[in-house]
Amino acid sequence: MAGTTKRIHALLGGAGIAAIAFASQAVAQVTLLDAITIIATRTEEYAIDTLAPVSTIRENEFQQFRPTRTHEIFTGVPGVTTSSSAQEASTSINIRGMQDFGRVAVLVDGARQNYARIGHQSGAGSFFLESELLGGVDVARGPTSNIYGSGAIGGVVTFRTKDVEDIISPGAPWGVQANASTGTNGFNGVGSLFFANRISPNAEFIVGGSVRDQDSYKSGDGTKVPLSGQEVQTFLIKGTFRPAEGHQIKTGLIIYNADWLNGTPPGTALPLATVTRNFNSVNTTATVNYKYKPLDSQFVDFDSTVYWNRADVTTLLRNYNVAPTPTQLGIFGPVGTRTSYLIDTVGFDLNNTSRFSAGGFEHAFTYGADMFRDDVQNNATAGFGAGYNPRGERQVSGGFMQLKSTYSSWLQFITALRYDNYSLEGINLANGGAVSNSGDRLSPKFTIGITPIQSTTIFASYAEGYRAPAVTETLVSAQHPGGPGANFPFIPNPNLRPEVGKNIEIGLNIKQDNWLVAGDKLRIKTAVFQNNVDDFIDTVNLTRAGFPGGSALCPAGLFPGAPYFFCVQYQNINQARITGFEFEGMYDRGSWFVGLAGHVIRGENIETGAGLNSVHPPMAAVTFGTRWLDGRLSTAIRWAAVAAKKREDITGTLAQQLLVATGSYNLVNLYVSYQIDPTLQLGFSVENLLNEQYKIYTHEFASPGVTAKLSLRKMFGPAPDLTAVNNLNTASLRPQAAR
């Protein structure tokens, strides 16, 4: 759709400085517009009030939109895109053009997800998670949340899995939630069941899980995307104990198991895929969280998490589509070859907040430390697996201090300082030598917010972030499989330096109630930013030695077999610059709501002027919805317009440009939700209503054509205590001035 880019800029220009609609939030319930989050400062505050680009998604929204793939959760979130493959169960999150190898810190119940098996699209920096388990997602864009740990120069995404309060009605001793959904465009059946029990006021638990069985789908032009199905089973158990006043211990275990096929099935022929492999992924997350907050002290508000996460991915070579060449046998091995990639991440995160008054200000002083250690193991008899995902260890640790100071209701300062340290060890497979790298740095942050009138806050921020190179970036050494033009070596770079992000941001928050009529709500968050990244790590093509402009780093004979004309290496770019603006907001009239979402982001290599391939094209989304029958029936329609990523905007060889370039497209989705009674909800949706043929940038295959979904949620248990519900909605969890 050639006019999509013009329509995006028209939408954004018409919006002025702001606007987005989260249809999901409005459909679910109005109170979600003011969700409480701690992602920006580790202190409780409403998302709309944060002096940072923050977005929230809550459990009712997942029920409303019933995402088939995890990446669909982030549809319409400004500045956030994903990389994924229809033949892959994992997802990579891209925030403001920053992605992979920890640039976006992903945490599940406080545990880092550092899976980084290199591959097409969703690979180096992805995670495995089933949306049926989720109770909430918070997103912070840019290094403004560097207090969450090292590496997050792109942003932070925290996932919270379901807990007791998501299942049990206030005041009830137990509850059950059952969810089921199915859809067209290939069988897609999902079911989940959760049971929660309050044993006593000081002990409670939740246990449950989900099953997803998904067949291959067809894209908008009717073409069946090969091997795009998957089977997923999950298990969740969490327990909460309060042994004494002010003390809370929460333990959790999540097991995710997925099976899928990757490649091309027999009888099909794609030029760059000649094998079919079985994949199995088992992702295990175990956490222990301890909180201590005595009622009689403002100086102690302690929160700590110890965690272990294991991503264990095994592959089995199922077949070759054509008779394998000696080169292919050297890369993949014979039929039946089994490989495994395993990464264990252990770590902790602890912090405390002390609150006090001084100099006319209300202060919240937060300080803490964190550490994680990645142990990467690879068992592969063929060269493809062993060198692509080399063994190694990396330890990253740090500490921070942050002072959040509020004067009256119109002035706020946030000053923070973080220290990071890392060490990396492994073997350079190219020469057999040992590699040992380390480094450290101090990263400052400063934010000022001014509220000249009650409904409007303007803020400015400067924040730095520090990311250590990953094991794979440093040590990758393998031959890329494929035919002419796609057969090339990756070569290691043991001298990679850490990246340093330096982000400048100006934002605006608008929070207005009773704006045009009594009871209406206007919410707007918008920001413009510039992130200068020193020593940005990116893949660089090196011409083979012996050709004009050839590099000695890329000699002939690195790997036997088919000839190659260039090599690929991760290298430091002196400076990359990413600029853009994004916005989110909505106007809610009660019986209807409307809004707009979007971003425009640009990135370039300052040395060469070339664009950054990790930056996604502009996006804008308009949403309109209605509520009927006292809010029991909700409808919403969303139009998302996404610009093209043209070949000339992509850095690389002609073959690489043609492979990843995408056209512009328009996506229209329709959602309907009906609350039959307080315990039973029926949902219906039609996605890609216009049956558009489109491919999301950095997704490996075209997306599904028109797809209809039907969902049902049933709650069992004692009837809701309406008095308790009203008390919960009107009381307690209101942030204090400096919280």
Q: Which residues pair with 605 in a beta bridge?
A: 576
Whole-angstrom distance, CA of residue 506 vs CA of residue 504: 7
Question: Does residue 475 or residue 328 have the better pLDDT?
Answer: 475
**More confident call, 302 vs 433:** 302
pLDDT of 59 reads 78
| Per-residue pLDDT reduced to its tens digit, 260-297 | 998 876 555 554 457 888 999 999 999 999 999 999 99
Which tokens sit at 329? Answer: 């046998």
Where helices occur in 122-198 by DSSP H, the ranges are 164-167
- In this predicted structure, the answer to whether residue 251 has a pLDDT above a threshold of 90 is yes
Residues 22-29 have a mean pLDDT of: 35
Confidence (pTM) = 0.90
Residue at 703: amino acid letter = S
The predicted structure's pLDDT at residue 10: 39
pLDDT at 384: 61
- Per-residue pLDDT reduced to its tens digit, 402-417: 999 999 989 999 999 9
CB 445 within 8 A of CB 418: yes
What does the pLDDT read at residue 646?
A: 87
What distances in angstroms separate CA 187 from CA 346, 412, 607, 664, one per listed residue? 38, 53, 49, 28
- The pLDDT score that the predictor gives to residue 284 is 98
In 649-700 the beta strands, taken as DSSP E runs, fall at 665-677, 680-687
Residue 61: what are its φ and ψ, rounded to 5°? -70, -40
Residue 216 has pLDDT above 80, yes or no: yes
Task: Specify the pLDDT at position 721.
Answer: 52
- Confidence (pLDDT) at 327: 72
The reported pLDDT for the residue numbered 267 is 55
Measured between alpha carbons, how far is 499 from 480 in angstroms, rounded to an integer?
A: 26
What pLDDT score does 733 carry? Answer: 29
* Distances, alpha carbon 529 to alpha carbons 10, 267, 582, 585, in Å: 21, 50, 9, 18
Q: Count CB atoms within 10 A of the CB of residue 458.
A: 14
Helix (H) or strand (E) holding 444: strand 433-453
pLDDT at 383: 62
State mean pLDDT over 171-176: 91
pLDDT reported for residue 27: 38
Region 142-162: mean pLDDT is 86
**Residue ranges per structural domain of the chain:** 4-730
- As given in the structure block, the two tokens for residue 217 are 């789908």
Second-level CATH architecture of 4-730: Beta Barrel (2.40)
Q: Write the DSSP assignment of 23-56 as a string of letters.
A: HHHHHH-GGGGG-EE-TTTSS-EEGGG-SS-EEE
Place of tokens 């803490």: 368
Question: What values do phi and psi take at 74, rounded to 5?
Answer: -95, 10
Confidence of residue 483 (pLDDT cuts 50, 70, 90): low
Give the CA distances from residue 98 to residues 1, 103, 154, 537, in Å, rounded to whole numbers and listed in that order: 27, 6, 5, 11
Cβ burial 700-713 (10 Å sphere, 16+ → b, else e): bbbbbbbbebebeb
Residue 333 has pLDDT above 90, yes or no: no
Task: State residue 306's pLDDT score.
Answer: 98
C-alpha–C-alpha distance, residues 255 and 670, integer Å: 33
Residue 122's pLDDT is 55
Percentage of the chain exceeding pLDDT 70: 88
Least confident of 23-27, 74-78, 127-131, 156-160: 23-27
Distance CA 422, CA 496 (A): 13
pLDDT band at residue 655, thresholds of 50, 70 and 90?
A: low
Rounded CA-CA distance 326/329 in Å is 5
**What's the whole-number average pLDDT of the chain?**
86
